[in-house]
Amino acid sequence: MPRIVSVGTAVPEHILEQQEARAFATRLFKDSFRNFDRYLPVFDNAEIQTRRLSRPRQWFEQDRGFSERNRAYTETACRLGEEAVRRCLEPVSLSPAEVDHLFFVSTSGLATPSIDARLVNRLGLNRHVKRTPVWGLGCAGGASGLARAYEYTRAFPESRVVLLAVELCSLTFRPNDRSKSNLVASSLFADGAAAVLLTGDEVSVDHLSGPLPRVLDTMSTTWPDSEDVMGWDVTDDGLKVIFSRDIPAIVRKGILPAVEEFLSRTGISLDRIRRFIAHPGGAKVLAAYEKALDLSGEALTHSRRVLGEYGNMSSATVLFVLERELKERHQPGEYGLLTALGPGFSSELILIGW
């Protein structure tokens, strides 16, 4: 089965403390809602301390057109994408020219040529490298992209494949959108990039130390009539966030049946899963995972710490969690479950074994 060899991450240099974000949102939204103060606990309850932004916080105080924000997306996505891929490949002494296929996942900006095409020259990729850009998967994109990369390496076991997820959620912020969804988004979303290297069975990894996790199976689920739970409305001045308050309830109700269906076909029971690599969509979402799957308080430690240090970076976030998981010591025969939720409304599940 294909192996996960390494993960590299990158974030912008501009740090936003959560209390600064709270003050910024207060100035912007306080005249938009009656009894505005009752909405402010969303910043404290998010369990986020810091986030990273592609531009200084003051940049967002002025109204920016969609074209200006998207130019910032293209520039920053190329820079962070290059950094994440290099950090992924360098520890295993692999040259970018040796990558056979680059999967690129993003939902927070638009670019044609796509970001992966622009990275061919920046990274020194082989000019014949295969590329697959994927747009619109939102927070599920990191897990979904990993699943697609796994399928490719199964079909072509001699391949070295890189998945790159870049999300610059801050650049979608529209100060004239005074909706509750935009207020919640301002308390939660951030920017970051992550790259994962997968290899097929015919690629030698004998020179690497320690057991490498193998991707054993994947499953995608899209719940019917749920398109309005999460996503974007495309407006004249950019992408308007759709963010339902019902997401934690949907997780509590829907995730356990999906996980049980997935594991039943693998022959691995839920009580044999020792590692949980969950996309931290928010503190309430993680609490819903814990309740639905009856997890211990320590099971989602990496997810909570990534959320606290970086916020929700959409598709890239679960790969930050994966990076921390790979630094742990594992016993042969251990199993892990990687999971993320996104627009659709959809779930991605990946079974990993050491």
How do residues 297-351 score in pLDDT, each as one tens digit? 899 999 999 999 999 999 999 999 999 999 999 989 999 999 999 998 899 999 9
Question: Given this model, what pLDDT does residue 226 score?
Answer: 80
Find out whether the peptide bond into 2 is cis, omega within 30 degrees of 0: no
DSSP one-letter string for 126-189: -TT-EEEEEES-GGGHHHHHHHHHHHHHHHSTT-EEEEEEEEEGGGG--TT---HHHHHHHTTB
Nearest to 319 by CA among 197, 199, 220, 203: 197
Task: Give 235-254 pLDDT, tens digit per residue.
Answer: 888 888 877 777 878 888 88
Residue in 78, 88, 139, 169 annotated catalytic: 139
Could you tell me how far CA 77 lies from the centroid of its own chain? 14
Please give the chain's pLDDT, 354 residues, in tens: 899 999 999 999 999 999 999 999 898 888 888 888 888 888 999 999 999 999 999 999 888 999 999 999 999 999 999 999 999 999 999 999 999 999 999 999 999 999 999 999 999 999 999 999 999 999 999 999 999 999 999 999 999 999 999 999 999 988 888 888 888 889 999 999 999 999 999 998 877 767 899 999 999 999 888 877 788 888 888 888 877 777 878 888 889 999 999 999 999 999 999 999 999 989 999 999 999 999 988 999 999 999 999 999 999 999 999 999 999 999 899 999 999 999 988 999 999 999
**Structural domains in the chain?**
3-199 (3.40.47.10), 214-353 (3.40.47.10)
Establish whether 88 is a catalytic residue. Answer: no
**In this predicted structure, what is the pLDDT of residue 209?**
66
pTM of the model: 0.94
